[in-house]
Structures are given as C-alpha cells and as structure tokens.
A and B are shown apart, each in its own frame.
Chain A
Amino acid sequence: MNWSKITSCFTRFRLRFFKPGTGTHSAADIFAGVELMRQMRQQLTSISADIEGSVTGVTTGFHGMAHRARSAVERAATALDNPTGDTPIDLVRSAMEEMLANVRTSANFSFAISKQILAVEAKLSAIEQCLNNVEKVADQAKLVALNGQIEANRLGDAGVAFGVVAQETKTLAGNAGTTSESIREMVADLGTALRETSAGLQSQNEKDSKIIAESEQTVSELLDSLAVSHNHMSKSLSEMSSISTQLGQDIAQAVMSLQFQDRVSQRIAHVCEALEFVSANLEPASENASPLAKQKRLEDWSQHVRSSYTMESERTGQTQDVMFDLETENADNCVELF
C-alpha cells in the first residue's frame, strides 16, 4: 500500500469538504465522507472501464487499418510480380512479337510462291517454243506426205503402197498440228491463270506487308504506353509499400502510446484500494451518528459534489452501481436542439 498516496488523498478530501477551525468532525461527517469515497471509487472504476473500452476500440481500428494496408500491398505486389522476373508487359510484347513474326513468315511464304509462279510462267514460254517446233515438224511432215503422194501417183500401180504411207503421214502430221494447237490453248489458259494468281498474291503480299508494318508500330506504341503505365504502377506500388511500412510504424507508435491506459488503470486501481483502505478505517467512527444526521450530511455533500458534474453518466455513477455505457449515452444525447 502506498502511504504517501493515501495521505495525499485524505488531505485533498479534508481540504475539499471540511472547513478549517470547525473542531472535531461529527460521526455524520465521517459517514458522509465514507459514502462519498465509495461513490468516487465507483466513478474511478467506471472511468477506467470507459478508457479501456475506448482504447480497445481504437486498437481494433488500428489493427484493421494495418491489416487492410498490408493486404492491399500484398495483392498488388502479387499481381505485378512474375517468378521469371519478366513483367506482364514483357510477356505480352514477347507474345505479340512472336505472333507478328509468324504472320511475317506466312507473308514471305506467299511471296516465295508468287516468285515460283513466275518461274512456272517462264517454263510455259519454253513449252510454247517446243510447240512451235512440233508444229514446224508437222508442217514439214505434211510437205513430205504431199511429195510422197505426188511420187506415188507418178509411179502408178507400183506406187500404191507408197501412196498409202504418204496418206497416213499426212494424217499423222495433221493430228500432231491439231494436238499442238490444243496444247497451246491450254498452256495459254494456264499462263493466264498463273499470272492472275501471281498478281493476286503480289497484291495481297503488299497489303499484308503494309498491315504487318502498321500492326508492329501500333503494337509497339501500345506496349510502350503500357510499359510506361506499368512502371508508374510499380512505382506507386513501391511508394504504397513504403507508406504501408510507415503506417505500420505509426500504428506501432500509437499502440505504444495507447498503453497509457494500462498504466492509468493500474494507478486508478491503486487509488481505489487506497480509498477503500481509508473508508474501512473511518467507517467505525461513523457508527454513533443518527440515521437522520447521516442522511442530511450525505445529501449536503452529495449536492456539493454533483454541482461540478457535467455529464449524466457522472450523476448516475454517483448514485448507482451502473457502468458508463458510451454507445447508449451517445445514442440518446448526441443531438440536442434548442
């Protein structure tokens, strides 16, 4: 027990309620003093509980803030983090470049086919040259057949067989000429089709090349823009992380400061113990007072104490064993219109 604290309390109590020079205090005075000390103990206990309740609420709030700040930073970090070290933008850029490379390869293949078609066209010209030769041979064969027919006629019966051979030769030469003509037409059609296909492919190639070049530029610009945004996000995240750390430190400091409540509660508990000790020692001296005198003195002193109170909870606490309920009081008294 802290005697200096008890003495201090008692002295303050004497100075407040007893006027100097009034002689020995009556048993009713002592009764009233003891009763008021009991009420003050209740007030102090109630105050201590109020402080603890408030501190608990503040601590819960701080914990929630710290938890949410930590979670937000962790979620953002997870979203931006990549185990390979590449940013999502790097991955998108790589995928887009690969896709455009595939498109470019496809376009190059079309271009190669177009070139091959041109080569085939050249071959067709060679075929036409061959057909010219075939037609010349057929024409010469016709002349040979004609000469043979003339010689066969000149020989008479001896030339009949020779005339048959000359006739067949003429027929074969005619067939060769007709066939050559048919092939020439087909080669001409094939040449036309190949030229159209080649022209179509070249036209498409030019369009594809232009589209690819534009796509590459657009994608590159978009990815650059995204990279800038990503860098900003990363920077913001880093700043958020730093702020979160600072917030954690601030909260730690606040939590340290809030622990005043524990010390205050202990000190209040010690003061209550002191008051209880004083009361217990004074109480026997009040036994000789009459109930009426006790009641009168208690009412007088209670009135004096009440005159300094400003809150209903103080008045209630003085007369009843009721804990101060902050929520109820606020709900009932938070607004007052005049």
Chain B
Amino acid sequence: MSKTALVVDDSTSMRQMVAFTLQSAGFEVVEGCDGKDALAKSQGGNFNLVVTDLNMPNMDGITLIKELRTLPAFKFIPILMLTTESQDEKKQQGRAAGATGWMTKPFNPEQLLQVVAKVVK
C-alpha cells in the first residue's frame, strides 16, 4: 500500500517540485496551497508525511503544525518544514510547534528523499 504525503506551499511550482519528488519515491500526494487549506484537507485523510512551507497566507506553517499536532491522526506523523527561512529563532519555533525536521530551500530532491526515508517508517 502506497504512502500519502500532504505537501503545503503557497507556490504552485514548489508544491509541484516537492510532489514530483515524493511521487518518484512512490508517495501519493495531496497538495495544500496554505495552512488553512491543508488543515481542511487533513481531515479524514490517512497521511504518512507532511511537508510544509513556513510563510504562507491565511495560515502559516508554524500554526499549521500546532493545529495538526492536536489531531490524534497527526500526533506522531513526521512533519518537515521546507522554507527559505533559516533563522535559528524560526527553527526553534518550528521545533516547539512539533516539526520533525527543517529543510532550507532550495532543496535537493535526492536529499529530500533521504530525509523522508529517515523519518517515514
């Protein structure tokens, strides 16, 4: 049975790049254009991984992670932040919110898959 990933980014092209990368590793991908959209799509879904941007309209990545972690289905699901932001302060916020890892854009597809292989059991 294939795994499913929730990819959240307000940039269509970034969502597409992440989706293609994960699809090449056998993932099915559900895309969210911001935190709010992703939170709506997370309801009832059976996800194995979340990859989210930080700065997005309507709901940012940190808030999304906090909201997802309150849901029983996402309590132990790996959540990766994929963002241009590299400030330690932001990383700490992400960790505190419940992020599993942090990747800075631009991302290397192979590196993303290596990280995903480590966190997705």
Q: Does B11 contact A (CB under 8 A)?
A: yes
Residues of A within 8 A of B105 (CB): 259, 262-263
Q: Does B13 contact A (CB under 8 A)?
A: yes
The main secondary structure of chain A at its interface with chain B is helix
Residues of A within 8 A of B17 (CB): 59, 255, 258-259
Q: Give A252-285 as 1s and 0s: 1 = Cβ < 8 Å from B's Cβ atoms.
A: 1001111111110110000000000000000000
Q: Which of A226-267 contact B (CB under 8 A)?
A: 249, 251-252, 255-263, 265-266
Instruction: Using A56-B12, A56-B13 as known contacts, say yes or no to A263 and B109 having CB atoms under 8 A apart.
Output: no
What total count of A-B pairs have CB within 8 Å? Answer: 53
Q: Give B16-27 as 1s and 0s: 1 = Cβ < 8 Å from A's Cβ atoms.
A: 110011001000
- Verify A56–B55 contact, CB threshold 8 A: no
**What is the interface of chain B, defined by CB distance below 8 A to chain A?**
11-14, 16-17, 20-21, 24, 55, 84, 105-110
- Verify A55–B13 contact, CB threshold 8 A: yes
Shortest Cβ gap from B35 to chain A (Å) = 16
Shortest Cβ gap from B64 to chain A (Å) = 18
- Verify B84–A258 contact, CB threshold 8 A: no
Q: Does A66 contact B (CB under 8 A)?
A: yes
Minimum CB distance partner of A67 in chain B: B24
Q: Which of A38-85 contact B (CB under 8 A)?
A: 52, 55-56, 59-60, 63, 66-67, 70
A56 to B31, CA, bound (A): 15
Shortest Cβ gap from A251 to chain B (Å) = 8
